[in-house]
Amino acid sequence: MRLTVKTICLLFLFILFHPLYAESDEEPFVDDENSMDGEALLSEEILPENDTLAEADFPAEDALFFEAPPLIFEVPVYEIRSFDTIFPRFTQRQRIQAMSTTGLRHSFRKDESPVIFPNPSIGINLIDSIMNINPSHLIEALVVVPYRERELDLLDIYNALARIEDIKNYSVPYNGNNFHVFTESTRIVSNRNRRAVSDPVPAAMLPFSETMFLRLKEVNLGNLFLRGEISVSMYGITYSMTNFMDVRYFLIPIVGAERFITILYLEPVKEGVLIYCVSGFYIPGFIADKVNLTPNINRRIQIFINWITAGLRTQESIAVR
């Protein structure tokens, strides 16, 4: 008969506790060499005779728990950059102009070169993204909005950019008057659903990216339908606006869909909030010879800069979170 380990253990317990063996007069056999110097075989402690256990015999409640070492998370810490770190090759005149209210501005064609060159090691390259649409005309702008009440962070910038309905409130000087380029500005549901929707409440957290759709009613060109795309990096926010429908002038298409793009890069630096902008658009040569759109685009860029600046001032007045 084959005995299993379980069967052997049961036989051992039967023999050990059976009354026939428990009442035997014979002394139990103990091997002196294996008796562990007289220590009890089954337990190091003998239970009290009254079969009750004192409270001290149980381990304390705290002994059932252990204290784990604290968890340490490494949060990336970076030092705010300076204007000169991002644009190290600027002349003193360019730097002063960038710090002014109008900022630095330059218009050029695709066969000409830009003049605003960020430090290549910084990784800010707006020109290449603009050139993807093969533009005929380009405009670059740079301005630093100085801090007044407090330093601003990326969430402040994001919330300033979210106030689309405010764009229509800003004007530019033209022929001695304040010229309102946009008479309406609103978000819309999507590129197919043109129903207007309100701006969201100020955000408490930054998204990694976001896509929105806008309708700006321009005084001369009518409705401009734009796709806005926001992406957030460690140091700044990139905000691009592209027309997903033709831009028309008296029902004549002058800029085709996806042929106009403005990219804004905003970063809080030591001197203030840096706004670096590049716009590109393509218009056929026969239209470019008759209509000079560069001054018009320049005015619209100034509107965007005024809108962003006002939004940043609003954020400054909000208490630090």
Quickly list DSSP for 26-83. SPPP--GGGSTTT--SS-SSPPPTTS---GGGSPPGGGG--PPPPP-------PPPPH
User: Are residues 100 and 142 in contact, defined by beta-carbon separation less than 8 angstroms?
Assistant: no
Using only C-alpha atoms, the chain has a radius of gyration, in whole angstroms, of 38
320 vs 155: which has the higher pLDDT: 155
**Quick one: pLDDT at residue 70?**
53
The model's pLDDT over 211-238, given as tens digits with 9 standing for 90+, comes to 999 999 998 888 999 999 999 999 999 9
Classify burial at 104, counting beta carbons within 10 Å of its beta carbon; exposed 0-12, middle 13-18, buried 19 or more: buried
Q: In the chain, where do the E strands start and end?
A: 104-109, 137-146, 172-174, 177-179, 182-188, 196-197, 209-218, 222-232, 237-243, 247-249, 252-255, 260-269, 272-281
**d(C-alpha 71, C-alpha 160), whole Å:** 36
Give the orientation angle of helix 294-316 with respect to helix 154-161, to 10 degrees. Answer: 120
Task: Report the pLDDT value the prediction gives residue 288, as an integer from 0 to 100.
Answer: 74
Report yes or no: 206 and 162 within 8 Å, Cβ to Cβ. Answer: no
Distance between CA atoms of residues 141 and 125, nearest Å: 14
pLDDT in tens, 184-209: 999 999 999 999 999 999 999 999 99
Are the C-beta atoms of residues 69 and 76 closer than 8 Å to each other? no
pLDDT at position 40 is 37
Instruction: Inform me whether the pLDDT recorded for 71 exceeds 60.
Output: no
Taken in order of first residue, the domains within the chain and their CATH numbers are: 91-316 (3.30.530.20)
pLDDT at 77 over 60: no
The model's pTM: 0.74
The residue among 196, 167, 195 whose CA lies nearest residue 182 is: 167
Distance CA 108, CA 115 (A): 9
**How do residues 250-277 score in pLDDT, each as one tens digit?**
778 888 999 999 999 999 999 999 999 9
Q: What is the pLDDT of residue 173?
A: 87
Q: 123: which DSSP letter?
A: T
The CA-based angle 233-235-238, given to 5 degrees, is: 50
